[in-house]
Chains A and B, each alone.
Chain A
Amino acid sequence: MSVSSPLPHDAARLHVTGAARYIDDIPTPRGTLHLAFGLSPVACGALEAMDLAAVRAAPGVVAVLTAADLPFANDVSPSIHDEPLLATDRVHYVGQPLFLVVAESHIAARRAAKLGDIRIAEEEPILTIDQALAADSRFEGGAVIWEKGDAASAIAASAHVVEGSFEIGGQEHFYLEGQAALALPQEGGDMVVHSSTQHPTEIQHKVAEALGLPMHGVRVEVRRMGGGFGGKESQGNALAVSCAVAARLTGRPCKMRYDRDDDMIITGKRHDFRISYRAGFDADGRIQGVEFLQYARCGWAQDLSLPVADRAMLHADSAYLLPNARIESHRLKTNTQSATAFRGFGGPQGMLGMERLMDHAAHQLGLEPVELRRRNYYAEAEEGGSAPAPAEPPRDISGQKKGAEKSARSALPQTTPYGMEVEDFALHGITAALLERCEYAARKRAVAEWNAQGGAIRKGIAFSPVKFGISFTLTHLNQAGALVHVYQDGSIHLNHGGTEMGQGLFQKVAQVAASRFGVGLEAVKITATDTGKVPNTSATAASSGSDLNGMAVQIACDELRGRMAAYLAAERQAAPEEVRFEAGAVHVGGATIPFAEAAQRCYQGRVGLSATGFYKTPKVSWDRVRGQGRPFYYFAYGAAVTEVAMDSRTGEYRILRADILHDAGASLNPALDIGQVEGGYVQGAGWLTTEELVWDDKGRLRTHAPSTYKIPAFSDQPDIFNVALWDGRNREDTVYRSKAVGEPPFMLGISAFLALSDAVASCGGGYPALDAPATPERVWAAVRRCAQ
Chain B
Amino acid sequence: MSKTHVTAKVNGDAVEFLCDPRETLLDVLRDRLGLTGAKEGCGTGDCGACSVTVDGRLVCSCLMLGVEAEGKEIGTVEGIADGETLHPLQKKFIEYAALQCGICTPGILIAAKSLLEKNPDPTETEVRYWLAGNLCRCTGYDKIIRAVMDTAAEMREAS
Contact = CB atoms under 8 A, between A and B. Distances in A.
A502 B135 CA distance: 15
B80 A17 contact: yes
A19 interface: yes
A672 to B, nearest CB: 7
Interface residues of A, number: 57
A717 B36 contact: no
Contact of A15 (B41, B102, B131): B102
A682 interface: yes
A624 interface: no
B150 to A, nearest CB: 15
Interface in B43-58: 43-44, 46-47, 49
A715 B128 contact: yes
Contact of A6 (B39, B49, B97): B97
Nearest to A723: B142
Interface stretch (B2-10, B66-74, B87-95): B87-95
A155 to B, nearest CB: 39
Contacts of B38: 18
B101 A227 contact: yes
B70 to A, nearest CB: 21
Contact of B132 (A14, A674, A682, A715): A715
Contact of A678 (B40, B46, B99, B143): B143
A675 B101 contact: no
Contacts of A22: 39, 103
Interface in B133-151: 133-145
B17 to A, nearest CB: 16
Contact of B78 (A6, A13, A18, A683): A18
B61 interface: no
Interface in B77-130: 77-78, 80-81, 86, 89-90, 93-95, 97, 99-106, 109, 127-129
Contacts of B105: 15-16
Given A12-B99, A175-B137, A176-B137, A17 B78 contact: yes
Interface in A243-284: 259-260
B100 A502 contact: yes
A84 interface: no
Interface string A738-749: 000000000000
Given A18-B76, A176-B104, A8 B97 contact: yes
A405 B106 CA distance: 58
Given A17-B86, A174-B137, A260-B42, A226 B102 contact: yes
A786 B27 CA distance: 52
A593 interface: no
Contacts of A671: 97
A605 interface: no
Given A16-B86, A18-B36, A176 B139 contact: no
A503 B36 contact: no
A176 B47 contact: yes
Given A229-B137, A260-B43, A713-B132, A18 B37 contact: yes
B2 to A, nearest CB: 14
A17 B101 contact: no
Q: Which of B127, B128, B138, B140 has the most CB of A within 10 A?
A: B140
A678 to B, nearest CB: 4
Given A9-B100, A15-B102, A24-B40, A678 B95 contact: no
A224 interface: yes
Contact of A675 (B86, B94, B100, B106): B100
Given A24-B40, A174-B137, A717 B97 contact: no
A714 B125 CA distance: 10
Contact of B139 (A8, A224, A226, A678): A678
B40 A679 contact: no
Interface residues of B, number: 55
Contacts of A682: 139-141
A707 interface: yes
A680 B35 CA distance: 31
Interface string A704-732: 01110001111101000101000000000
A119 interface: no
A71 B47 CA distance: 39
Q: Which of A174, A175, A682, A714 has the most CB of B within 10 A?
A: A714
A71 B49 CA distance: 38
Nearest to A713: B132
Contact of A24 (B36, B89, B128, B132): B36
A697 B86 CA distance: 53
A715 B142 CA distance: 11
A387 to B, nearest CB: 24
Nearest to A679: B140
Contacts of A25: 30, 36
Contacts of B46: 705-707
A679 B139 contact: yes
Interface in A1-54: 6, 8-9, 11-22, 24-25, 27
Contact of A714 (B89, B90, B103, B134): B134
A207 interface: no
Contacts of A721: 140, 142
A225 interface: yes
A11 B128 contact: no
Contacts of A15: 93, 99, 102, 105-106
A276 B144 CA distance: 40
Given A176-B49, A502-B102, A717 B128 contact: yes
A209 interface: no
Contact of B101 (A13, A226, A674, A717): A226
A681 interface: yes
Contacts of B81: 17
A95 interface: no
Interface of A: 6, 8-9, 11-22, 24-25, 27, 107, 173-178, 224-227, 229, 259-260, 501-504, 671-672, 674-675, 678-683, 705-707, 711-715, 717, 721, 723
Given A501-B101, A705-B42, 19 more contacts: A9-B99, A12-B93, A12-B97, A12-B102, A13-B94, A16-B89, A16-B93, A16-B106, A19-B78, A176-B137, A224-B101, A224-B102, A675-B140, A679-B137, A682-B141, A706-B42, A711-B137, A712-B140, A714-B145
The 3 A-B residue pairs whose C-beta atoms are closest, nearest first, are A18-B37, A502-B101, A15-B102
23 contacts: A9-B97, A12-B97, A13-B94, A15-B99, A16-B99, A16-B105, A17-B78, A22-B103, A176-B104, A176-B136, A177-B39, A224-B102, A227-B137, A229-B137, A260-B42, A674-B97, A675-B139, A679-B139, A680-B140, A712-B141, A713-B132, A714-B127, A721-B142
